[in-house]
Structure 1
Amino acid sequence: MPTPAQKLEAKYKALVERFMKLPIIAKIGVSLGVFAALYALLMLASPFSCLINLVVPLVLLGVLWKLNIQSIKHLLVVGLLGSLVIAGLYADFATRYYLDLPAEVAGSEDGELFDGIVTPVYGTSETLYNFTVSVRLPNSTSVVTNMTVVVGDLRFYGGIGHNYTMSLAESESNETIAKYYNVTTVPHPLNLFVFWANIDGEWYIAGNQNPSSKSPLPTYGVEGPAYRDYGAIAAVMLPFGLYAGFVNIYPVFGILVLMVWWLKRARKMRIDSYQKSVAEREKDRAGVSKDEAKVPSLAKAMGAGGEDSFVCSECGADVPGEAKVCPKCGEKFD
């Protein structure tokens, strides 16, 4: 009587056999589902990690191969579909990140500019955003000029920066710390900002000194402000997703497929060469008579045997020259 484990194994094998009989479209769908699930899990565990670009293509190829989808053309086409899936998932993850930005504060490396923030972080094209930053004055006679906040839109290519001159908040300033502000709207759904200032003839810049490790695009600029609009931000992130899918993922998958193709081709070449060699050897042996196949014995070659002895072509035994039958294996000679 089979054990529960054996019954479970039998059911599993039956399920696999039934699954392997499914149409190729169904197998491709399952492969892409596994591919998408793995990518999503890796993005949750380690967002936007470079290691994902290596692990995911390798797993996709392994799943396809296990499902007997081994045609090079099919593999490359499925890789393209997988890259589209990656583009969508990347854009979705990036959009969700920018809809829930962590609190970030701008500051200069030496601490002369600090507490640079924007409020509110989210709004619309009509929202008034208040940019503020504090300046540490070296002494009571220090002069601050060109106090500017630079707001640039975050996009795949051709981002535009806007310079806004900041005003001194006299009620919140003193001899050692001066606070500046600027209230403005922003025309783009997703932005970055930094602060510039000239203090006593020296330039200082304040940005994000500790970018978030979960950011799709960690930069020196502080992320924000942004519109709380999924569609608008997703449209900005889609080109980044396409880049991730077709530049980061697909070339790796393509290289793996080409490696498999070359290994299969090299193996076929070796097999063909071996079969050709065997066929030629059999052809040569078929055209040689028994008498021509007689090989001089080792004893005769060394001068120790009789003049008429030879070696049996079947078993290698020394046979007298006048013999018609090998004394060892019984092979007959003409």
Structure 2
Amino acid sequence: MPAPAQLLEVKFKALVERFMKTSILIRTVFALAVIAGLYAVFMLAAPFHCLINLIVPLVFIGVLWKLKIQSIKHLLIIGLLGALVITGLYADFATRYYLDLPEQEAESENGDLYDGMVTPVYGTSDTLYNFTITVRLPNSTSEVTNMTVVVGDLRFYGGEGHNHTMVLIDQYLNENNQTIARYCNVTTVPHPLNLFVFWVNIDGEWYIAGNQNPSPKSPLPTYGIEGPAYQDYATIFGIMVPFGLYAGLVNMYIVFAILVLMVWWLKKARKMRMDSYDKAVTEREKEQAGVKKDEAKVPSLAKAMGVPGEDSFVCSECGADVPAEAKVCPKCGEKFE
């Protein structure tokens, strides 16, 4: 009696064989589900790792090949569908990230500008957002000019920066006898998703405060602090779709298409080699089969030895000497052309 494992293996093989006989539509949906799951795992475990753009297309084409979807046209079309699936996944992942932003504070490289933030982080177009930052001044008489918060629209193309002048709300000496100044600006933001940085001129030198440690999970790690944002999934998703299209079509589909074309070229090159070999064999067989009998005639021994005499040759069938002009062997009756 077969072991349970063997029975399970037989059933599994039978199931696979049945699945392989299903329509190409069902197999395509299965392949898309596999690639969507793989991409989602990558985005959760190691988002935006550069190898994703190579591993996912490689696995995708491997799955399709195993599912007996090997037509170049079908591969390119299904690959495009896969790119659209990745577009949706990317846009969803990015949207969820921007709807749950980590705490971030703007800071300058030398640390003299710090605690730059906005409250609240989420709101609507009517919400008043309070931008604040702390500045450590060289001394109490330092000249501070152009204290500005720059709020930029986060979008795929055509984003604009909006400058807002900040006002001094407090100035004091800390425990280290350093002059500390606090600035703020209260404003609305017209765009659903934004980035912001601070800049200021202190005693003739410019300083800028931004994100010194961008989150590794950020879809678009930048120097700007992410926020404020509208807490609206559909709106943010719409902003992220162009980024998703770039990730799906440029980062993924182009690599996939190159791999498919490489497979096509390898198949074509192999076919060309096989056709060339078959053609050479056929031509050689034709040459061998089409050799004229007079080309195979063996010259007589007398002629081969240079002895003068009537031109003749040896019959290839019986070995008799036959005159050159003869059409039939006088001994065996073999006909010559």
Normalising by structure 1, we get a TM-score of 0.86
Q: How does 1:243-254 map to 2 (within 5 A)?
A: 243-254=246-257
- Tell me, in whole angstroms, the C-alpha distance in 2 between the residues paired with 1:204 and 1:136: 11
Matching of residue 108 in structure 1 with residue 119 in structure 2:
no
Tell me the distance in 2 between the aligned counterparts of 1:95 and 1:203. Answer: 34
Report how many aligned residue pairs link the two structures: 304
- 1:92-107 equivalences under 5 Å are 92-107=92-107
Quick one: percent identity of the two aligned structures?
73
Shift of 1:291: 8.6
Q: 1:322 to 1:243 in 2, by over 3 A?
A: closer
Deviations 1:196-233 (A, max 9, x none): 11111111000001111110100000001111110111
Tell me: CA distance 1:61–1:180, structure 2 relative to 1, closer, same or farther (3 Å).
Answer: same
Q: Which residue of 2 aligns with 1:176?
A: 179
Give CA-to-partner distance per residue, 1:163-209, whole Å, 9 cap, x none. Answer: 11111112x53461101011111111110000011111111000001
- Corresponding residue for 1:331? none
| Distance apart, 1:25 and its partner CA | 0.7
- Residues 1:294 and 1:192: Cα distance change in structure 2 (over 3 Å): farther
Q: Which amino acid in structure 2 is aligned with residue 43 of structure 1?
A: M
| Partner residue in 2 for 1:272 | 275
Equivalents in 2 of 1:130, 1:112: separation in Å? 21
The C-alpha deviation readout for 1:100-128, integer Å capped at 9, x for no partner, is: 11111101111121110111111111111
Q: 2:206 aligns with which of 203, 221, 229?
A: 203
Q: Mean Cα displacement is larger for which, 2-11 or 66-75?
A: 2-11
- Give the Å deviation of 1:290: 7.8
d(CA) in 2 for partners of 1:151, 1:286: 86
CA contact (8 A) 2:87 2:248 kept: yes
| Correspondence for 1:79 | 79
* Matches for 1:233-312 after TM superposition, within 5 Å: 233-288=236-291
Is 2:195–2:226's contact at 8 Å kept on the other side of the alignment?
yes
Separation of aligned partners in 1, 2:168 and 2:252 = 49
Q: Following the alignment from structure 2 to structure 1, what is the Cα–Cα distance between the partners of residues 298 and 192? A: 91
Q: Distance in 2 between matches of 1:293 and 1:10?
A: 62
- Structure 2 gaps of 5+ residues are 306-314, 320-333
1:287 deviation in Å?
A: 2.2
Give the C-alpha shift of residue 280 in structure 1.
Answer: 1.1
Aligned-partner Cα distance in 2 for 1:163–1:83: 38
Q: Which residue of 1 aligns with 2:130?
A: 130
Q: Do residues 227 (structure 1) and 226 (structure 2) align?
A: no
Distance 1:157 1:188 in 2: 13
Q: Which amino acid aligns with 2:172?
A: S
Encode CA deviations 1:125-150: one digit per residue, 9 max, x unaligned.
Answer: 11111111011010121111111100
Shift of 1:293: 5.9
Aligned equivalent of 1:26: 26
- CA RMSD, Structure 1 to Structure 2 (Å): 2.1
Q: Distance in 2 between matches of 1:213 and 1:156?
A: 20
Tell me the CA shift for residue 162 of structure 1: 0.8
Q: Distance in 1 between matches of 2:316 and 2:186?
A: 118
In structure 2, relative to structure 1, the CA distance for the partners of 1:288 and 1:163 (3 Å cut) is same
User: TM-score when scaled to structure 2?
Assistant: 0.85
Q: 1:266 to 1:203 in 2, by over 3 A?
A: same
The whole-number CA distance in structure 1 between the counterparts of 2:109 and 2:221 is 17
What SS does the corresponding residue of 1:169 show, helix, strand or coil?
strand
- Equivalents in 2 of 1:322, 1:154: separation in Å? 92
Distance 1:120 1:173, change over 3 A: farther
CA distance in 1, matches of 2:75, 2:100: 37
CA contact (8 A) 2:150 2:163 kept: yes
Residue by residue over 1:234-262, the C-alpha shift from the partner in whole angstroms, topping out at 9 and shown as x without a partner, is: 11101100111111111000000000000
C-alpha distance 163-322 of structure 1, shift in aligned 2 (>3 A): closer
CA distance in 2, matches of 1:212, 1:231: 23
Structure 1 position 71, deviation (Å): 0.7
In the aligned structure 2, how far is the partner of 1:322 from the partner of 1:270? 39
Task: Assess, with a 3 A threshold, how the Cα gap between structure 1 residues 287 and 29 changes in structure 2: closer, same or farther.
Answer: same
| SS of aligned partner of 2:183 | strand
CA distance in 2, matches of 1:322, 1:277: 29
Tell me what 2:326 maps to: none
Per the alignment, residue 316 of structure 1 pairs with none
Instruction: Classify the secondary structure of the residue corresponding to 1:173.
Output: strand
Moved more, 45-54 or 1-10: 1-10
**1:119 corresponds to 2:122:** no
Q: How far apart, in 1, do the equivalents of 2:116 and 2:298 lie? A: 97
